[in-house]
A and B are shown apart, each in its own frame.
Chain A
Amino acid sequence: MSAMILHWALTAALVMLTLAMACTTVRLIRGPRAQDRVVALDAFYVSGMLLLLVFGIRSGSTLYFEAALVIGLLGFVGTVALAKFLLRGEVIE
């Protein structure tokens, strides 16, 4: 019973997060200006991180947690670098 509940809930969550990543991809491609694309990229990596966390619950191993942590760290650095580039025209002055 509990296995069935978890299985269906985690499958539904995976489908929803994949749809979320699809929405951000559409905005990433269509976004009229550069800052729209950067916000879409930010939301994209956050959705990917959540996808990995849900996948870790589904497979019952804590290995996916480290991957999610690395995605969070590197995504923050990437978004800040892109914002700095939009503001100043170069990343390291």
Chain B
Amino acid sequence: MSPDTELPLWAAIVTAALVLLGASLALIGTVGLLRLKTFYERVHAPTLGTTLGIGCILIGSMVYFTVLETRPVLHELLIAFYMTLTTPITLVMLVRAALYRDRYHGRNQVPDSDPPKSTLIDKDRGRD
């Protein structure tokens, strides 16, 4: 059984609040993944859990183990650093793959591929 009987009350409340907040954020993100309509909307939803959800649970874990072992426990920062580094990379690669596939199959729900108007005007000027 967990040795949390000697944990002070403030640490228990802080840990409980942070863990509950992180878990509910992850749940909201995955419900969004389930309910949104198109892929390009759905890809945004789970990042709620991968950024703030993981952050809250990791800070809660750090507070809990720091108070429990009466020394600074900071190895959760590894996961936090790693996830903030990798989540944008995976999502950019996935959306790029999805864009390529949708354009290749000629789907009409693809976001606009035209460059912004300013670059078009510049190109026309150069041609004149």
> CB within 8 Å of B: which residues of A?
1-3, 5-6, 8-10, 12-14, 16-17, 19-21, 23-24, 26-27, 33-36, 38-40, 42-43, 46-47, 49-50, 53-54, 56-60, 62, 65, 68-69, 72-73, 76, 79-80, 83-84, 86-87
Contacts and interface: CB of A to CB of B under 8 A. Distances in A.
Contacts, number: 180
A86 B98 contact: yes
B88 to A, nearest CB: 11
A90 to B, nearest CB: 13
B3 A20 contact: no
A27 B29 CA distance: 12
A25 B86 CA distance: 22
A14 B78 CA distance: 22
Given A1-B9, A57-B64, A69-B78, A10 B94 contact: no
Contact of A83 (B2, B7, B90): B90
A80 B2 contact: no
Interface of B: 2-5, 7-9, 11-13, 15-17, 19-20, 22-24, 26-27, 29-31, 33-34, 39, 42-43, 46, 49-50, 53-54, 57-58, 60-61, 64-65, 68, 73, 75-76, 78-79, 82-83, 86, 89-90, 93-94, 96-98, 100-101
Contact of B30 (A14, A34, A47, A62): A47
A72 B43 contact: no
Given A27-B33, A83-B97, A2 B12 contact: yes
Q: Name A's interface SS.
A: helix
Contacts of B33: 23-24, 27, 39-40, 43
Contacts of A60: 2-4, 68
A47 B60 contact: no
Most chain B CB within a 10 A radius of its CB, from A20, A42, A76: A20
B12 A39 contact: no
